[in-house]
Structure 1
């Protein structure tokens, strides 16, 4: 094939290719939706799609049929129609909360055969149709709270035989009969109907033979006047909740038979709608109560309700948070049997002597969010205590005897206090402690706190303190530590620069000694403050800075006003972290890392270097970490992605490049990332012209890689296109330019000239014959339209050599004997008219054509044309 022909075919193929890939029905593009990246994203059995907060007016089209979790909350959808979720037979969780849904057509969910959870909370439903949940045989959780539902038809829940949990809070239900068709469902466990305008809740209004499998029931209403259980409707009820705030008691509790509530083990009340007398009576009837929650009920507590509660022998858990109680001491005197006490967010300033000493079985105590100025002295008597919360108080100091005798303590939370110092003996008795949270305090140093004891500690949080430096072996005794969070504040004065290369060098050089002994540490988070005056000296000559062979997760985050200073990463910084899998460096103005930075971490799966002003990267940097699956380079200053072509990232599945300086994306780069499934290029100054046409075609057609929110990318350049959408680029015009059209026209003209010369030279007579054939056809059509009568009975076609025989034999027989009128060329042709025209007129003017066939006839060219034309 000629070069010209090849070029034509190539351009035609490109055009057809662009037309094909502009068809969104065959692309991976999810308009108005994303598939959030997760480590199990490759698992086809679990596909999570997020279409939330997109200002959608309808359920989006093109949702993959294999989706298992779908979120469309916080949009503006007004109705659900029959075909909105068609074919989504694998869907298990559907979230439609916070829309404006006012109507659901019957059969809208009929295809959702595997749906387990459905959330339609915070919409505008006023009523349910007769069968809105048809087909949801496997649904177990349904949330219809915060709508305007007034009536529930009897058949609305008829097909939901697997339903366990229903939330109807904050609707407009007024009668108990509105839920009577839910209660008999075979597997119903929990119903919440709080904040509905019920005036009464009386089981006598239910069928006498009704028995529900309900185990949890939540009810509250500021207009509820009576709560009466007079029939055994709830033989399996375990948890009963009364919620809502009332200025004065308005509800009467009527439970004439305590046996109706003999199975109740949990009671929650956050209301003053019940009178103190009725509440005490209710508690006395709950003979099996083990867990009691009293929220916002300080009036009852101050009147002595706890005395009644603590007299219940089975009570084990007492939750009194959010009560604003100041003095709790005398009220808990009889609660010696409880194992869990929650006093979170009250106003307790101190616990006097003998306040909780009787609670010898207490294992869980929450005093967080109070006004304690010191660790309560009575705690030393709680030898069985395992979990202790003292966060968010005003504790400024902890002493060696504060936790004396708490030898079984496993979790201790002291965050958000004012502790500025730790003595080495503070935790010397806590040999079983596993979790210690000292974050958000004022610690300046650790002394020898972690050099002795705490050998079983697994989690330690020292972040957001004022620790300036760590000493040698500060954590040497923490042999079991697996997660450590800390921050470093370097505050070195100018005189110290004379003996140190850099203020932060003192931290880095000591890190080997700091973490000595932490051979089991798996998670380390360091919040580093770069000090004023930092020069950014290269530290590559220092080796073995951190010796943490078991480390899996390392997060180093810069905080403070001096994070904009250049920061060099030592080459051997990660040398001992051969098992490292996840590394994050955030808010460092990194000088380009050395190509050998990751040679010691071949197992690295996730790497995030964000907010670090990286403008270019050496592709050799990624060669040692070919198993990398997730790479986040967001909020840098990258201008191109050329480094990816040689980075050997064949296992990379997630690539985030948000908020860089990328203007033109070369889509050919991504062929070097064969496993890529998630690509985020949001908030880049993209150019909307033909330079990005290839990337756009690839983005719209890729059946493997999801380009997150590509339909929301906005053009930045050229200025005339600023503000328009990136997907609106006219890709076809990029291929149909003026030079291409000129090329096609010139090529066509040359081919036409060649074909004309070829035809004239080799097919001259055939073309002439074809021309006259065409003329004859046109003449025939014209004559037929005229419908003129024939002038002759027959036209005689013969050779001049046979003329004697025609006159002697044929004419007498046909004209004289039969009376035919014959047309002969020597007699009837019009003089001055062309031969072909005369032949044509003679043939079309005669009813028949008679050919006198002889050897001379067959050898004559004109006779041959006459017979062909006659035919």
Structure 2
């Protein structure tokens, strides 16, 4: 009973286990048509969409739908995005926006509708946007704005309506009442001719920036102090070539304006200009670009304003700066002369500018550093970029001891010398890129203790000599990319003890350049770019001098796109020393293999790109040392399978990019091995469209954790009839095993089996036991028949222990002592230590006859049954009369037939019954003697010696 109970529990537990195995939670994934999802952003731009996608995850915070083909949008397009804060719809063909289109976006704060074809803004269009702070409607065709268009935008701070067809500001009179938080109003490039403050508002508003530039503005009138917080006003670049009428009631109306742009503005006379400037008493920054009026006069008037400190004078076609040009600019600290045609600046032109801190003469035609700049003692920033300067004199910057930034990029410098910057002890940023320098001339060996950024890229340097940067012990960023550098002296970077960023890409460096351990002093380096050079290694053996041995703080190493011909390998200890490396890019370096221990030295690697190599296959062991990997790119390496990922232990991998490879199947085990995967990019692969990919297809369609980039464009390469069809069109129904049906069938079969076993055991257990014993008897009979030996005993006596008294009291004395037979008795003659079954078999086959002393207890004994069955096999199968049955008591036939062939034996073979009356005992012993003495085959010797009737 207990055993049956245990079996039931075991079966129950097994079924539960099987069901759980079929319910294992896998890494979930998804794919959105025509969109790319990254974290909480959906990018659906440039997809030629005509309808808003309906499969964008509802949890995103930003949706980019720009550069598509939408013509209208309705409220149903944007529902159930409770977290959406930014919606970008620029560069579409939107003509109509339905009422309350965005009312289901309660968290929206930025709405971009630039560059569409909107003509009318109707009432209630932007209802339901209480948190909107930026609304961009520029570059449309808007002509009218309804009074209640902006009625719910109580939080709006920036409203842009530039490049439309608005003709009057009266359109905003009612709208402004609904936008109390509005700070920035841009109405640039419309058709507004007149700006009168009372047309916009009769009450004070909070606008701080008003842009009316690029309008055909003819009149600017402010009669009331409605702009108390206005700090920036742009009236520049008017599209009408007419004189502007300026009418501002008093200085207090625009008293807080600090930035004013008047580029290209025309006034009728100098007096008009004076009246305009007199309207501002807090002006700081004045932009006078591309002016048509006398610039010198404007300079005198503007510099007469004591608060003006910053002047922008771009694109005024100046060729010469005279000594009187800035004569009234005592208080100016910042001058921008960019994009003129200046070839000469008269000496002393800047002498009056004692407070000048920032000077830009960018994009002019200077061939030397102006002498006029030498005495600007307060100068902190000097920009001479994009000129024609060929040489630097020792005195050019000698007195600019307060200079912090110096920009000389994209000139025609060919060389430097030791005195070029030797007095600039405060210089922090020096830009020299884009020149033609071949030598540094010792310019950086000393005297630049504060320099932090040095840009020398895009020159013609071929070598970096000994101690070239020794004086730059504060340098953090050194850019040497896109030169022609072939040689790095072993001490070239000595002194750069604080350098964190070094760019050496796009040079002619080979492996020999790093073999001298020239990087060993850069102990604080965190980012190193060696890409686009000629590095190539031909052996994977350990390098004698690993190039990055001392760079224990390096976090990013860029080593991709090496241009040497031929295939290479990766030295096993190439990355030795990079214990903090987190990003390693080595794409397109023509690698044939990676040693499995390549990343042993980089346990903190999180970003790895080994794309565009000839690896063909990757060992899982390669990734064993880098379990923290989060981003892996394996594009274009001719991979035939992704199965290596299964045992790579990349449990933290977040992004996998495997474009342009040769695999065609993605298995369940691959996906399950990447539990943290959020982005899977398999673009430009060809897939097998059969049941091998059925699980992958279902996974793409039905999951929500991992984005499968552009999955809707995956195409088939096999079978031939499916060529170029879409993978997601695969009919997976014929491939899917119905788990529910399988569980039903399994459960039903198990229940039926349990019932059959239970009923069989209950009703036929004795038949089964009987059959089992018959089988054992046959087995032993077959075994002993092969090795027949001479009889040791006349008879083997089979009896039950309860009948042992009769055997020893009656049977043994009469047969052994009186008649002289040799009997085999199991208590006396069985060999100790030998299995009992073998003892029984040996006794039966070693005896001429077997005497079975039968009683009720005998029939119930398991061992007695074995003895009788084995003897009966000799009787029936050897055709020998070896069995003598002695009944000690009357046994009904019904008790014999269910278990034994006893009835058959009784009818055909010798049997005797122990008589109850003592006078018959002598006859019994005589007949037993005759039975023992009879032959095994003679039919005539067969005796029926019973007095019991069997029916």
Cα distance in 1, alignment partners of residues 484 and 677 from structure 2: 39
Aligned to 2:555: 552
Counterpart check, 1:526 vs 2:535: no
CA contact (8 A) 1:222 1:273 kept: no
CA contact (8 A) 1:92 1:117 kept: yes
Counterpart check, 1:599 vs 2:632: no
CA contact (8 A) 2:363 2:385 kept: yes
Alpha-carbon offset, residue 327 of structure 1? 2.5
Alpha-carbon offset, residue 536 of structure 1? 4.8
Counterpart check, 1:543 vs 2:525: no
Aligned with 1:300: secondary structure?
coil
Aligned to 1:489: 484
Aligned to 1:582: 583
Aligned to 2:51: 58
Cα distance in 2, alignment partners of residues 49 and 469 from structure 1: 47
Cα distance in 2, alignment partners of residues 437 and 616 from structure 1: 45
Alpha-carbon offset, residue 587 of structure 1? 3.8
Aligned to 2:284: 290
Aligned to 2:512: 506
Aligned to 1:460: 454
Match of 1:393 among 387, 395, 399: 387
Cα distance in 1, alignment partners of residues 592 and 471 from structure 2: 36
Aligned to 1:35: 37
Counterpart check, 1:372 vs 2:374: no
Alpha-carbon offset, residue 305 of structure 1? 1.6
Cα distance in 2, alignment partners of residues 601 and 379 from structure 1: 51
Cα distance in 2, alignment partners of residues 66 and 156 from structure 1: 28
Cα distance in 2, alignment partners of residues 57 and 657 from structure 1: 30
CA contact (8 A) 2:537 2:569 kept: no
Aligned to 2:774: none
Match of 1:346 among 340, 345, 356: 340
Aligned to 1:120: 113
Aligned with 1:679: secondary structure?
strand
CA contact (8 A) 1:555 1:583 kept: yes
Alpha-carbon offset, residue 165 of structure 1? 0.9
CA contact (8 A) 1:485 1:525 kept: no
CA contact (8 A) 2:132 2:153 kept: yes
Aligned to 1:191: 185
Alpha-carbon offset, residue 535 of structure 1? 8.0
Aligned to 1:703: 704
Counterpart check, 1:311 vs 2:314: no
1:490-524 Cα offsets, whole Å, 9 max, x none, are 569xxxxxxxxx971331224x33x4543333233
Cα distance in 2, alignment partners of residues 303 and 406 from structure 1: 27
Question: How do 1:32-111 and structure 2 match up within 5 A?
Answer: 32-36=34-38, 41=39, 47-111=40-104
CA contact (8 A) 2:362 2:385 kept: yes
Match of 2:414 among 412, 420, 431: 420
User: Which one is further off, 66-75 or 681-690?
Assistant: 681-690
- Gaps of at least 5 residues in structure 1 are 2-8, 42-46, 493-501, 738-743, 759-871
Alpha-carbon offset, residue 118 of structure 1? 0.9
Match of 1:410 among 397, 404, 407: 404
Alpha-carbon offset, residue 477 of structure 1? 4.0
RMSD: 3.7
CA contact (8 A) 1:650 1:673 kept: yes
1:132-185 Cα offsets, whole Å, 9 max, x none, are 111111111111111111111111111111111111111121122111124343
1:732-766 Cα offsets, whole Å, 9 max, x none, are 344599xxxxxx9xx9xxx9xx9xxx9xxxxxxxx
| Aligned residue pairs, count | 709
CA contact (8 A) 2:321 2:344 kept: no
Cα distance in 2, alignment partners of residues 626 and 130 from structure 1: 57
Match of 2:165 among 162, 172, 193: 172
1:636-691 Cα offsets, whole Å, 9 max, x none, are 43333233223222211112223334433334212222211111112223344444
Cα distance in 1, alignment partners of residues 298 and 214 from structure 2: 22
Aligned with 2:293: secondary structure?
helix
Aligned with 1:625: secondary structure?
coil
Counterpart check, 1:248 vs 2:241: yes
Match of 2:434 among 432, 437, 440: 440
Aligned CA distance change for structure 1 residues 422 and 279 (closer, same or farther; 3 Å): same
Cα distance in 2, alignment partners of residues 420 and 537 from structure 1: 40
Cα distance in 2, alignment partners of residues 167 and 301 from structure 1: 33
Alpha-carbon offset, residue 242 of structure 1? 1.6
Cα distance in 2, alignment partners of residues 544 and 449 from structure 1: 31
Alpha-carbon offset, residue 70 of structure 1? 1.5
Cα distance in 1, alignment partners of residues 715 and 351 from structure 2: 66
Aligned CA distance change for structure 1 residues 605 and 177 (closer, same or farther; 3 Å): same
Aligned to 2:667: 666
Aligned CA distance change for structure 1 residues 337 and 603 (closer, same or farther; 3 Å): farther
Cα distance in 1, alignment partners of residues 379 and 665 from structure 2: 62
Cα distance in 1, alignment partners of residues 352 and 540 from structure 2: 61
Aligned CA distance change for structure 1 residues 248 and 333 (closer, same or farther; 3 Å): same
Alpha-carbon offset, residue 97 of structure 1? 0.9
CA contact (8 A) 1:242 1:270 kept: yes
Cα distance in 2, alignment partners of residues 524 and 734 from structure 1: 51
Aligned with 2:530: secondary structure?
strand
Cα distance in 1, alignment partners of residues 223 and 182 from structure 2: 21
Larger Rg: 2
Aligned to 1:827: none
User: Which one is further off, 264-273 or 164-173?
Assistant: 264-273
Cα distance in 2, alignment partners of residues 27 and 527 from structure 1: 34
Aligned CA distance change for structure 1 residues 595 and 464 (closer, same or farther; 3 Å): farther
Aligned CA distance change for structure 1 residues 549 and 357 (closer, same or farther; 3 Å): farther
Aligned with 2:559: secondary structure?
strand
Cα distance in 2, alignment partners of residues 175 and 331 from structure 1: 40
Cα distance in 2, alignment partners of residues 569 and 245 from structure 1: 63
Cα distance in 2, alignment partners of residues 575 and 473 from structure 1: 26
Alpha-carbon offset, residue 375 of structure 1? 2.8
CA contact (8 A) 2:543 2:574 kept: no
Cα distance in 1, alignment partners of residues 377 and 633 from structure 2: 48
CA contact (8 A) 2:218 2:242 kept: no
Alpha-carbon offset, residue 723 of structure 1? 4.0
Cα distance in 1, alignment partners of residues 622 and 281 from structure 2: 68
Cα distance in 1, alignment partners of residues 428 and 570 from structure 2: 33
CA contact (8 A) 1:479 1:517 kept: no
Alpha-carbon offset, residue 301 of structure 1? 5.7
TM-score, normalization by structure 1: 0.74
Aligned to 1:778: none
Aligned with 1:94: secondary structure?
strand
Aligned with 1:142: secondary structure?
strand
Alpha-carbon offset, residue 464 of structure 1? 3.0
Alpha-carbon offset, residue 266 of structure 1? 0.4
Cα distance in 2, alignment partners of residues 503 and 145 from structure 1: 49
Cα distance in 2, alignment partners of residues 259 and 221 from structure 1: 26
Question: How do 1:768-783 and structure 2 match up within 5 A?
Answer: none
User: Which one is further off, 705-714 or 569-578?
Assistant: 569-578
Aligned to 1:861: none
